[in-house]
Chains A and B, each alone.
Chain A
Amino acid sequence: MNNSLIELNNVSFTYSSENNHVLRTLSMEVQDGDITAILGPNGIGKTTLLHLILGWIKADSGSINLKGKSQQQYSRRDMGQLIGLVPQDEHISFDYSVLEYVLLGRTPHLHPLELPGKKDYIAAVNALKKVGLEKLSDRSVTHLSGGEKQLVLVARSLAQEPKILLLDEPMSNLDLANKIRLIEVLNSLKNEGVTILFTSHEPEVAAAISNYLILMGKENIIRHGYTDKLLTSESLSKTYGIKINVRDFEGKKIVTWH
């Protein structure tokens, strides 16, 4: 029995305005319950990969299966219940309260004409508690710091209760304490059976929480495999095109460069 939750078969993708492939015949699988880190230089297509899995953009060729079923066979609402996205950044135009904003994550669980009820409020409040922002629930989202905003976006996805959670550079605006907090949140989600994919610029974060790793390098060379095997000086150096050293230090991997 194949246990893969996300399956990419020969997926290619090119933005219509450019000629270069972002992805070329990529095949890979993500197992149920994995935490997958996606590393690679800026502009290499990490976000594109997340958007393809989400279905927001369509592959030029190849297919993507989710839970053994083609992505196309899912309704929009089913997809909303299956996959959540924490975008890198988000433009907020109106002054919702933090709680209202997190409540928006309940949308895929509501019928088109339904308003959120008590159950949805409970999910939203619990999500806020998980990221440690329950005290801010009445604050306007337009008055948050960058880190708080990022955690609110995470909380909204937690309220969504998806089976698969995609996070696009979720740590980029967080201070050290909040970064550790988010790592704990992701670990506890893993224990609840949520499959996680996140992009990052920090190999140490990838080493700390991921068990699977995707390295997206130049010329569409994509390496993927278990983090403990793949996160090496050689593979990182090739991915980024500079000399990088990965060392073991008290059971943790640390990354140095010249």
Chain B
Amino acid sequence: MSNFETLADPPGKRKIVILSLILLLVFILALFSGRYPHGGIMNPKLLFTDPLAWKLVFNLRLPRLLTSLLLGVSLAGAGMVFQMIFANPLVEPGFLGVSQGAAFGAAFAIIFLGSSAWLIQSSAAFFAVAGLGFSYYIAKRVHYGGWVLRLILAGIAVSALFSAGVGIMKYAADPMSQLPEITFWLLGGLWSITWREFFTVLPVSLISTIILLLMRWRLNVLSLDDETAFSLGISPGTARLIFLISATAATAAVISVSGIVNWVGLIVPHIARRLFRSDTRLSLPAAMLLGGIFTIFCDTLARSVFAGEIPLGIFTSLFGAGAFIILLLNKNLRIQK
């Protein structure tokens, strides 16, 4: 019994520490990257000589960076949760009507509630959670198929209903003012983030993330067949609901301020599992760290590549889908289903 230390996988833990350091490095680099005073990386000394640089870094960039960190951590963590509890590597947090619900909520607020930031965020968060609730309600009332299939079908239907709703809103929107606002919200971005948005999102996102991390062993058990999870002393239905609510709450909170940011929740958990295998003791924290790195990287590009800001969702889709295609074409990847 000498090699338990290797069994407990310190190399994996070491990789987590390395990822954390990379995240820290990316965060600091991003904080000083941008187009002030000129394109590229700002000299940190400027902070003490130029009051505008100080304001820019601490009042604009820092809250935005912290929010993009929360966004990446929450979306990637939620993606891992969804993929594990549905035992399906192709689902993501937007699944189950959450993203389309948020989109509908935002469009609704833009048209009918006067488009104040606070109202758009609340309405998006409300309809995101409503999307999950509605999907769950329908799935409970379907009388055929397994629980996972029922939830997936219900999620597809609810998402389609909400996106039809978004279509109607767009059609009815004022093409000069409201339509562009809806379109930009749907593309996703963090240009409007201030400390206020950060502190609105922080509690829900942080609490959900902590719950998911603390319960992560159960996530492994839930990826097994239900009868097996049950035989291991778990109530699969209850445990799954706790994970679903935590993951959805985190997702709803972050996308209420960012708009729709695609692909983070789908691709990052894949990469985490490739690097750390499937055991959620390592793969969940790894997904969260990688999500933070990926989102900060994309958001920094979004605000610094061109003079005008490019919506974040475009970059996450570009890199996310690109990485996905590379994974698909990889000969070593074998899909078991």
Residues of A within 8 A of B (CB): 51, 54-56, 76-81, 83-85, 87, 90-97, 99-100, 104-105, 107-108, 110, 112-116, 118, 121-122, 125, 137, 140, 142, 160, 166
Contacts and interface: CB of A to CB of B under 8 A. Distances in A.
A81 B234 CA distance: 11
27 contacts: A54-B227, A56-B230, A76-B233, A77-B233, A85-B231, A87-B227, A91-B87, A91-B225, A93-B89, A93-B337, A94-B273, A94-B278, A95-B336, A97-B279, A107-B218, A108-B232, A115-B217, A115-B281, A116-B217, A118-B8, A121-B8, A122-B1, A122-B4, A125-B1, A125-B7, A140-B277, A160-B232
A55 B218 CA distance: 20
Contact of B334 (A76, A137, A142): A142
A121 B232 contact: no
B202 interface: no
Nearest to B233: A80
Interface residues of B, number: 34
B278 A108 contact: no
B103 to A, nearest CB: 29
B200 interface: no
Interface of B: 1, 4, 7-8, 84, 87-89, 214-218, 220-221, 223-225, 227-228, 230-235, 273, 277-279, 281, 334, 336-337
In the A-B complex, list the 7 residue pairs whose CB atoms are closest, starting with the nearest.
A80-B233, A108-B233, A94-B278, A85-B231, A93-B87, A107-B232, A77-B233
Contacts of A85: 227-228, 231
Nearest to A96: B278
A113 B216 CA distance: 8
Contacts of B334: 142
A83 B231 contact: yes
Contact of B231 (A80, A95, A112): A80
Given A91-B225, A95-B278, 16 more contacts: A54-B231, A56-B231, A76-B233, A87-B227, A93-B87, A93-B89, A94-B84, A94-B89, A94-B273, A97-B277, A100-B220, A100-B278, A105-B232, A107-B232, A121-B4, A142-B334
